[in-house]
A and B are shown apart, each in its own frame.
Chain A
Amino acid sequence: MFDLEKWREIYDVFKANKLRTFLTSFSVSWGIFMLIILLGAGKGLRNGFEYDFRDDAINSVWLRPGQLSMPFRGMQSGRRIKFTNEDFDMIGRAYEEVDHITGRYAMWSVPVEYNNEVNTLNFRGVHPDHKFLENTEVTRGRYISNVDLQEVRKVAVIGIETKQALFGEKEALGEYITIFKIPFKVVGIFEDSGGRWENSMIYLPVTTAQKVFNAKNELNRIMFTTGDASNERVSTLVEDLRLQLSDRLLFDPSDERALHIHNNVQEFALFNSIFTGINAFVWIIGIMTLIAGVVGISNIMMITVKERTKEIGIRKALGATPNSITTMILMEAVVVTSIAGYTGLVLGVFGLEYLSSFTKDPGTFMNPGVDFGVAFSAAVLLVIFGTIAGLIPAMKASRVKPIVALRDE
């Protein structure tokens, strides 16, 4: 394989057939190029979707109350469901899979004031575990704590956008902001990967929010994470939870609109299987394209061998063994495929770079690219395909009989 003489022979043959070598290699370059672009695009799509999931914990279940769409135990259709602190306590106690749980009492578009300047913002009264559900990252100070809840403290954790809007470059920690003229002390600043909306949020202790804004014990969301419980277990849990809550809150368990349950575990599993499917599909298409290229190479190698029958006959007469002829043709095929494939690979990677320069914004398509493992398997595939492409022509070449080849026409 590392016989320099053989490489020189191959180089001479290619040099003598520049156009043919180029045309042959083009089909394979194209195949690999398409494979890389498709894989990269698939990856980009996946990255985009994963980005959308980044904001919330992927193993979370979200509960939102709705309206009865059918009468139940004397309750009329149209009645609104309300979550309370008791429901929150029940879920936390009833299921051992639940590892982080939080309720939420939120209000939109409330006047928030600092230094006589009023901004219209949103707040959420939450439990300390909320930060795990929203993937909130506290960059300065601290988050809402259990003590805040117990003592019903008037404290606030604000997003970086809120901080910017209210304080600008000034220090915010320890300052007081007012919501509906009620003062809250800023104890923390956070960042959230969910974008501008999430970063404009203000978090308050849920007990404080309920008390100060006259919500009694109402919650308008309950959400929890399920640790590493399997998709099946979480689905069972969700079904059981629906039954429990239908009994407590009085709605028909089959009434989809009374209680909205968003099961991220299931969504993520679905999402994963979709992308595994897309990935497999892309590989199949890519490999099919490559096979077309390989058949092309094999075809042209066949013609080459036919064309070079005389040359092969001469070589044999001069002492070339059948093995050396087989090796020569095989290596030519492998070298053409590898070089062509590598070119396609490099072009594909550059193509993806170019593509990704158009998709700067986080969205459903971002950071297309292939990892080293994929590029490596593509390279291995090329050598294998090159060998396959060269095999039949090489065997044909080794069977050339010198007396037939050298017969004068």
Chain B
Amino acid sequence: MISLKKVNKSYRTGTHSLHVLKDVDLEIGQGEMVSIMGSSGSGKSTLLNIVGILDSYDSGDYHLNGTLVKNLTERKAAQFRNRTIGFVFQSFNLVGFKNAMENVALPLYYQNISRKKRNKIALEYLDKVGLKDWATHHPNELSGGQKQRVAIARALVTQPKLILADEPTGALDSKTSNEVMNLLQVINQDDITLVIVTHEHDIAQKTSRSIQLVDGQIDSDKILSHV
């Protein structure tokens, strides 16, 4: 599903160059649920951005679902993201002036699906995350956990093969964090690959494989056994 070979990335800030990812090799198979851990500045978010085609890399090769992702035009990258990847963010990133249903339907807008049809699909996915009754509510009327579930429904609505979550529980209390992780586990059972960036061990424990990043390099890569 995801294959990175000797991927390097550095950021230039003025005269200094910051080498964020150093020769990263990573293989993630279809249906895996992987957590990426590391302290801030370890390069975990950069790695996620490259995997999510939100950022480019300097050298190496990245294959996503068998396709080489390199030097794509913005348009190609956008279409690729839209069809293959779902995103979940720490701060939810819902559009404030759209209600829950419209937020979920937004990715389908960029697939030129009619309003009626995409709202219908959006409602189905809101139902899956248990928020059908909240469809016409705007984000500011929802709790943090509800917002994140709307965001998850939005990530799922295009039926992607891969979901990338950047600190999905970072803004939530432990109870709602658990609920969200349980939901992600359920999603993973439908053979959807999940990559979760986190710095919390509890969260990492809920995944089946944990990768530790230190200074832009993979420090450890453990398969976790579950109770």
Contact = CB atoms under 8 A, between A and B. Distances in A.
A5 B78 contact: no
B75 interface: yes
A16 B55 contact: no
B114 A324 contact: no
Interface in B151-197: 154, 158
Interface in A297-325: 310-311, 313-324
A319 B79 contact: yes
A406 B109 contact: no
Given A403-B49, A406-B89, A319 B111 contact: yes
Nearest to A16: B97
Nearest to A14: B97
A317 B81 contact: yes
A16 B54 CA distance: 28
A408 B90 contact: yes
B74 A310 contact: no
A408 B92 CA distance: 10
Contacts of B49: 403
A9 interface: yes
Nearest to B103: A314
Interface residues of B, number: 32
Interface string B53-67: 011000000000000
Interface in B119-178: 154, 158
Contacts, number: 70
Contact of A310 (B81, B83, B93): B93
Given A8-B115, A408-B90, A314 B79 contact: no
A15 B81 CA distance: 29
B82 A319 contact: yes
Main SS at interface, chain A? helix
A292 interface: no
Contacts of A317: 52, 54, 81, 87, 93
Contacts of A15: 97
B91 interface: yes
Given A311-B95, A314-B95, A322 B112 contact: no
A311 B54 CA distance: 15
A109 to B, nearest CB: 81
Interface residues of A, number: 27
Contact of B106 (A313, A318, A321, A402): A318
B38 interface: no
B75 A319 contact: no
Nearest to A313: B93
A215 interface: no
Given A5-B114, A323-B75, A318 B81 contact: yes
A318 B55 contact: no
A15 to B, nearest CB: 8
B9 to A, nearest CB: 12
A9 B109 contact: yes
Most A CB within 10 A of own CB, among B79, B87, B112: B87
B98 interface: yes
Given A318-B107, A321-B78, 13 more contacts: A5-B112, A12-B98, A17-B97, A311-B96, A315-B95, A316-B78, A317-B54, A318-B87, A318-B110, A319-B81, A319-B111, A319-B158, A402-B54
15 contacts: A4-B115, A5-B109, A5-B112, A5-B115, A12-B97, A311-B96, A314-B95, A314-B106, A317-B54, A317-B81, A319-B79, A319-B81, A321-B75, A321-B79, A321-B110
Interface of B: 49, 52, 54-55, 74-75, 78-79, 81-83, 87, 89-91, 93-98, 102, 106-107, 109-112, 114-115, 154, 158
Interface of A: 4-5, 8-9, 12-13, 15-17, 310-311, 313-324, 402-403, 406, 408
The 6 closest A-B pairs by CB, nearest first: A319-B82, A16-B97, A319-B110, A318-B107, A321-B75, A321-B78
